[in-house]
Amino acid sequence: MPSDEEVVRAASDAAEDVIFSRYKQSAVRDFDVAVTFEGGVLDVDVYLNAPDDPDDPDPERVAEDAALAAQGAVDELFEEE
């Protein structure tokens, strides 16, 4: 069984990967990925401040996708065990 730290790290990494696969790092003004894993319950909150430009992806959608990717990464981590 993965440790709480491994779960949090996997979730955070997956969320960041989604954000920076959709935006250049220099385009992201600010972001925060808050992950907690307590008592077998995963909580992921993604805040993203990125340009709201019609040519760029929708920041809210990217934040949602990042949170879903974080949850998926944790699911995969537990499947490997």
pLDDT of residue 54: 85
Give how many domains the chain has, as a whole number.
1
CATH classification of the domain holding 53: 3.30.300.100
Tens of pLDDT along 15-69? Answer: 999 999 999 999 999 999 999 999 889 999 999 999 878 888 999 999 999 999 9
Q: What's the average model confidence in pLDDT over 4-23?
A: 97
CB 73 within 8 A of CB 12: no
How far is residue 17's CA from residue 70's CA, in Å, rounded to a whole number?
A: 9
CB 30 within 8 A of CB 49: yes
The domain containing residue 61 runs over which residues? 4-80
pTM: 0.92
